[in-house]
């Protein structure tokens, strides 16, 4: 049997070709890392805004049907208040069905429940949402030294290292 001569070149990839492909892959990976990181940050902010709006809508639905804000304990009316962690869990308890009408106004996603306390609604950075309510019925809640013309305000402390909270109002 005769052996065929292929002109001195064997089939396969040269070292230069392999290094070129590896360099291209490394460049693409270096470009993608910051892009995916910023996309994740945007997604976390959007999730927080969606959850804050859900809390606000649920509190307003509760108010419409009960004629008082979903605040823990008595009295139903008083000065405007902002939630502590314990208060927030009690507000969530009222909104998730433990109220006189036994109606569910809000469901807390599993990924947004604090470890060990499924009624504490936390943002994507694991910090509890802060809720301010107009309990004196003047149509505004005090925040940052000013009256915001809303019945319910919801804040997230925002991502760690940023000193600007996310909010559901201007």
Q: Residues 57-110: pLDDT tens digits?
A: 999 999 999 999 998 886 678 888 899 999 999 999 999 999 999 999 999 999
Question: How distant is the alpha carbon of residue 103 from its chain centre?
Answer: 24
Buried b (16+ CB within 10 A) or exposed e, 91-106: bbebbbeebeeeeebb
User: Contact, 99 vs 62, CB < 8 A?
Assistant: yes
DSSP 128: B
Q: Which residue has the tokens 């505004």?
A: 140
In 3D space, the residue among 137, 131, 138, 135 whose CA is nearest the CA of residue 156 turns out to be 131
Over residues 10-27, the mean pLDDT reads 88
Residues 53-68: pLDDT tens digits? 999 999 999 999 999 9
Mean pLDDT of the chain: 89
pLDDT category at 9 given cuts 50, 70, 90 is: low
In 3D space, the residue among 110, 78, 72, 109 whose CA is nearest the CA of residue 91 turns out to be 72
Residues 139-162: pLDDT tens digits? 999 988 889 999 999 999 999 888
User: Contact, 153 vs 131, CB < 8 A?
Assistant: yes
Instruction: Calculate what percentage of the chain has a pLDDT beyond 70.
Output: 92
- Element at 147 (helix H, strand E): strand 146-148
State if pTM tops 0.85: no
pLDDT category at 31 given cuts 50, 70, 90 is: confident
Over residues 18-26, the mean pLDDT reads 92
Higher-confidence position of 39 and 52: 52
pLDDT of residue 108: 97
pLDDT category at 12 given cuts 50, 70, 90 is: confident
pLDDT of residue 155: 95
């Amino acid at each position: 049997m005769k052996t065929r001569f292929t002109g001195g070149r064997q089939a396969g990839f040269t070292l230069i070709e392999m290094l070129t492909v590896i360099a291209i892959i490394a460049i693409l990976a270096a470009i993608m890392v910051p892009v995916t990181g910023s996309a994740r940050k945007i997604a976390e902010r959007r999730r927080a805004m969606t959850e804050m709006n859900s809390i606000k809508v649920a509190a307003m639905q509760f108010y419409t049907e009960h004629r008082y804000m979903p605040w823990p304990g008595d009295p139903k009316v008083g000065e405007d208040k902002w939630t502590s962690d314990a208060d927030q869990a009690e507000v969530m308890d009222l909104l998730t069905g433990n109220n006189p009408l036994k109606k569910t106004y809000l469901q807390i996603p599993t990924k947004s429940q604090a470890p060990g306390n499924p009624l504490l609604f936390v943002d994507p950075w694991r910090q509890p949402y802060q809720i301010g309510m107009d309990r004196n019925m003047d149509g505004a809640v005090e925040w940052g030294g000013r009256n915001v013309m809303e019945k319910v305000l919801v804040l997230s402390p925002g991502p760690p290292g940023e000193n600007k909270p996310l909010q559901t109002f201007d």
